Amino acid sequence: MREIIFDTETTGLDPATGDRMVEIGCVEMVNRVATGATFHAYYNPERDMPAEAEKVHGLSASFLADKPLFKDGAAELLEFVGDAPLVAHNAQFDFGFLNCELTLCGLDIIGTDRMVDTLAIARRRHPGAKHSLDALCARYGVDRSHRVLHGALLDAELLAQVYVELMGGRQIGLELAVDNDPQNPVQTTTFAPKIGEYRAPRPHKASEEELARHAQFLETLETPLWTS
């Protein structure tokens, strides 16, 4: 199964108030293994960069001034994404900005039926714990020492590792019976029989023929231990 793990950086928190997406990073995974294929782009938001947002990702208006507009790179992004499910942390946020940019270009939005939210998964797996990307990296031993500022591609690469752990870790390759619903990973792999499945009782009593063969075998033994 092909999946795209992605992250965005923006000018703020709400595209409905004029905030724009300025960076996107995507990591391709097949059967929950990174293929090495990535997509990364910066975009000119055609507006200023609030100081609060720049503190988070370090992307200034001057840095983005010569970057392409989203509409000029939308086709390349959509080609990379294809029809794969899209995995993000707090996915409603990233989907909101991505679909806003697509709408501004007059393009079809990406349906939320393709959305996989690792924040929602983490809340189900670890109720009461911290669920930020940093906290999940710490929980699963994912090295984030090189993460000084937020960056879309770097965060997508970290999230890809966290996603694998949230979905059961590398042992998912040992599947005997698999739940393929990415939104419900609690029982990704199971080795138990299905409820209601009938299994005939296993016979434990030796037959008369087996007892006779065993007695015949014992007669061939010289000074067996149990008689010494």
Main-chain phi, psi angles of 191, to 5 degrees: -115, 5
- Residues 107-132 as b/e (b if ≥16 CB within 10 A, e otherwise) read eeebeeebbbbbbbbbeebeeeeebe
Q: Which residue, 67, 69, 56, 71, is CA-closest to 13? A: 56
Q: How far apart are CA 59 and CA 177, in angstroms?
A: 46
Clarify whether 150 is annotated catalytic.
Answer: yes
Quickly tell me which residue has 């939320």 as its tokens: 112
Q: Which residue, 33, 44, 21, is CA-closest to 103? A: 21
Q: Decide if 41 contacts 23 (C-beta within 8 A).
A: yes
Beta strand segments in the chain, E:
2-10, 21-30, 33-42, 86-88, 115-117, 177-178, 189-190
Q: Decide if 90 contacts 159 (C-beta within 8 A).
A: no
Q: Which of 57, 89, 131, 150 is catalytic?
A: 150
Residues known to be catalytic? 150
